[in-house]
Amino acid sequence: GDSVTQMEGPVTLSEEAFLTINCTYTATGYPSLFWYVQYPGEGLQLLLKATKADDKGSNKGFEATYRKETTSFHLEKGSVQVSDSAVYFCALSGGNSGGGADGLTFGKGTHLIIQP
Amino acid sequence: KAGVTQTPRYLIKTRGQQVTLSCSPISGHRSVSWYQQTPGQGLQFLFEYFSETQRNKGNFPGRFSGRQFSNSRSEMNVSTLELGDSALYLCASSPRGDFSYNEQFFGPGTRLTVL
């Protein structure tokens, strides 16, 4: 079945540092790829998405490029802020999850901590 | 527009009991999905409903079931609770459920603790 692998962290950075959170996936077919963010005590929010190879998703200074050749969708931000502290989930949809399921398949999540 | 609401927010049950969780989607959304979030397994897809029909189901035992009403509100039920069912249960709604092109909006979740 489909799977998503991402670094779990916690990842601790100083404010204004460059951020990369790696995400690789395994899927049949042509999945769409997503990054979700979860702030403490809240549900998940869609951060960005890409629906086909070489697409770049971007939002709030975050970017990720759908790389089919390396099956990756790494999240990047040039200068992080304390308010970016949260848990980030990489996810895919549209692959074959097995058992007839076609919901989102999530990675385990990366806890990001930004220190002032 | 009001967001996805889930009730109750917190729930404590004992082993062997059953529980029903409720989700009200964003107005106009017809697709509702449920996910289980645990520290060990992460986020796992339970099932998805669209126009009162279950279209997709994840790899969970039959103790987990759900339904959707004509107003798109959804409930999920877990029977014969086990300690391992302790988790945050998230509901998400989408206009039509094609997740590649229709964003899923998540509720804050229901925290279930099984003692």
Average pLDDT over residues A42-50: 91
- Of residues A94 and A108, more confidence is placed in A108
How much is the mean pLDDT over chain A? Answer: 90
B21 within 8 A of B109, measured Cβ to Cβ: no
Q: Please check the confidence at residue A90 and state whether its pLDDT lies above 70.
A: yes
| Residue A63 confidence class, pLDDT cut points 50, 70, 90 | very high
Interchain CB distance below 8 Å, A100 and B108: no
Q: What is the pLDDT of residues B19-68, one digit of tens each?
A: 999 999 999 999 999 999 998 889 999 999 988 999 888 889 999 999 99
Residues of chain B contacting A98 with CB distance shorter than 8 Å: 59
Whole-number Å distance between alpha carbons of B91 and B40: 19
Whole-number Å distance between alpha carbons of B76 and B56: 14
Query: B90 to chain A: nearest residue by CA?
Result: A43
Residues of chain A contacting B99 with CB distance shorter than 8 Å: 32, 93-94, 102-104
Q: Please check the confidence at residue B96 and state whether its pLDDT lies above 80.
A: no
Residues of chain A contacting B64 with CB distance shorter than 8 Å: none
Give me the pLDDT at residue B101, please: 59
Strands A44-50 and B31-38: unpaired
Sign, CA dihedral B83-B112-B109-A12, equals negative
Chain A interface residues facing chain B, Cβ-Cβ under 8 Å? 32, 36, 41-46, 49, 51, 89, 91, 93-94, 97-109
Give me the pLDDT at residue A95, please: 56
